[in-house]
Structure 1
Amino acid sequence: MNRTWIRPGAARPCSLVVCRGCCCGDARKHPGTDHAGQLARLREAAASSGGRLVVRTSDCLGPCGQANVVVVQPSTEARRRGARAAWIGWALDDDCLDDILAWVEAGGPGVAEPPATLALQMIDPPGK
């Protein structure tokens, strides 16, 4: 497994946290989605990004009713300017991944506006 380690205090790029727990990534819940292919595509994009993107997985992020969930975390610079993570629900197809990757390429939260279709898929984080 490839892991990207960022030293403490270093500037961090945008990162994607991909839920792959109880509901997200489960073929029983969403049988028409290539869950493994999605994750492979995101990891491939990170590997070819020159360090501008990191992809991690989480066991469960919480909003199971909106599976598959991807959290787009802003870069260090964007976070310093007040940007916060964006939670994306129903990330089930290539069009959604295209939008997420295009947004990250443009700078992500706090730097660029998300594509309009992606903005419609934004959800509140748990506990909000």
Structure 2
Amino acid sequence: MPSNLESALQAAPGTGSVAAPPTAKPGLTACSLCVGETLGDSDPRVGGQLARLRELEALGVARLTLAECLDECNRGDVIVARSPRSGRRRSGRPVWLERVAGDELTGALASWLDQGGPGRAPVPAALEPLVIDRSNGPAGQVSP
């Protein structure tokens, strides 16, 4: 029986690149200290948000990297979606997101990454309000 994320990928238009070569996969970096923070103990998923992100990697949607801190501690469930090489050649810049938690938002993330992610597909409407503006550096940092 397919998981919720597998179902989201199957239902998403333009998907199907799950079998793409490893170099074509977008990267996904998650803060290991804040992953699961948004839903906390109310998350019905065994293993919580980290299990969802690991499932994305197992499904071949993205390469997952865990970082101890992404310097956005005042947020929660901070992740960075990175372009595959082909997306970077098209000016695909990393996209920082906060509070991406639960099946629905993770499904939107999975569909976007499966379509190529940053530089290859627009950020889905469900994730747009969660984009972190890093133009001035980390939260609370003042530009010189």
TM-score where L is the length of structure 1: 0.76
Change (3 A) 1:69 1:62: same
Is it true that 1:19 corresponds to 2:31 in the alignment?
yes
Work out whether residues 17 and 55 of structure 1, in 8 Å CA contact, stay in contact via their aligned partners in 2: yes
In structure 2, runs of 5+ residues without a counterpart are 1-21
How many Å separate the matches in 2 of 1:90 and 1:44? 18
| Amino-acid identity (%) | 30
- The answer on whether the counterparts of 1:26 and 1:35 sit within 8 Å (CA) in structure 2 is no
- Matches of 1:35 and 1:25 in 2, distance apart? 14
Taking the aligned partners of 1:111 and 1:26, their CA distance within structure 2 comes to: 28
Structure 1 residue runs of 5 or longer lacking an equivalent are 1-9
The equivalent of 1:107 in structure 2 is 116
- Partner amino acid, structure 2, of 1:112: A
1:68 maps to 77
Aligned pairs, number: 115
Structure 1: which amino acid aligns with 2:42? G
Kept in 1, the 8 Å contact 2:77–2:98? The answer is yes
Q: Which residues of 2 match residues 1-128 of structure 1 at below 5 A?
A: 11=23, 13-21=25-33, 24-25=34-35, 30-33=40-43, 36-49=47-60, 52-125=61-134, 126=138
Comparing both structures, which one devotes a greater share of its residues to helix? 2
Whose Rg is larger? Answer: 2
After the TM superposition, which of the residue ranges 83-92 and 30-39 deviates more from structure 2?
Answer: 30-39
Map of 1:6 onto structure 2: none
Partner in structure 1 of residue 16 of structure 2:
none
Answer whether contact 1:19 1:59 (CA < 8 A) is retained. yes
Judging by fraction of residues, say which structure has more strand.
1
Cα–Cα, structure 1 residues 87 and 75, in superposed 2: closer, same or farther, change >3 Å?
A: same
Q: Structure 1: which 4+ aligned runs deviate by more than 4 Å? A: 26-29
Encode CA deviations 1:40-92: one digit per residue, 9 max, x unaligned. 2222222222xx52011111101122211011011111111111000010112
Post-superposition shift, 1:31? Answer: 3.4
CA shift at 1:13, angstroms? 2.3
Aligned to 1:4: none
Kindly indicate whether the alpha-carbon contact (under 8 Å) linking 1:14 and 1:73 is maintained by their aligned counterparts in 2: yes
